[in-house]
Amino acid sequence: MSLLLNGVNQCISSMGSLEVQELLGKKDDLIRDLEEKLKVRENEITELRSQLDKFQSVIPFATVGPTPGSPKGRARKTRAQGISAEPQTLKTVQELADLSQTTFPEVPKTQR
C-alpha cells in the first residue's frame, strides 16, 4: 500500500509504524493550525463586511446632478440614512439559524 506524502509516493511497509504515526501527527498539527488561521480570516471577513454595510448605508454612492426641470438648475440633494444595528457575528448568525428551526407548542386560543 502506498501513501502520497508531499507529492512523493512512499511505501508504508518500508516505514516503521512510529514514523508513520509521527508523520501523521505532524500533518494533523498542520491541518489544525491552518484551520485556526482560516477561522480567524473568516471572522475578519465577517467583521469587515459588517463595517462595509454600515458605511455604505450612511455614505451615498453618487450625488444626483441637476435635472432639466429643476428650478434654477439646482441639484436635488439626497440624504443618507444611517442604520444602527448590532454587528452580525458568526455566533449570532448560528443562533438565528438554530432559533429558526425551533418549534413551539401550539396553544388553543381558549387557553390563553
The model's pLDDT over 59-105, given as tens digits with 9 standing for 90+, comes to 866 544 555 555 554 556 677 777 766 666 666 667 777 777 888 78
Q: Does residue 1 lie within any of the structural domains? A: no
Q: Does residue 50 lie within any of the structural domains? A: yes
Domain that holds residue 53: 31-62
Q: Compute how many other C-beta atoms are within 10 angstroms of the C-beta atom of residue 112.
A: 5
Of 61, 62, 58, which Cα lies nearest the Cα of 80? 58
Summarised one tens digit per residue, pLDDT across range 5-48 is 554 455 555 668 889 999 999 999 999 999 999 999 999 999 99
Q: Does residue 74 lie within any of the structural domains? A: no
Q: Does residue 46 lie within any of the structural domains? A: yes
> First CA to last CA across the chain, in angstroms?
68
Give how many domains the chain has, as a whole number: 1
Q: Does residue 37 lie within any of the structural domains? A: yes
Q: Does residue 38 lie within any of the structural domains? A: yes
Instruction: Give 77's DSSP letter.
Output: P
Q: Does residue 88 lie within any of the structural domains? A: no
Alpha carbons 80 and 82: distance in angstroms, whole number: 7
Judged by DSSP in three states, 96 sits in helix
Q: Which residue has the cell 484551520?
A: 35
Q: Does residue 71 lie within any of the structural domains? A: no
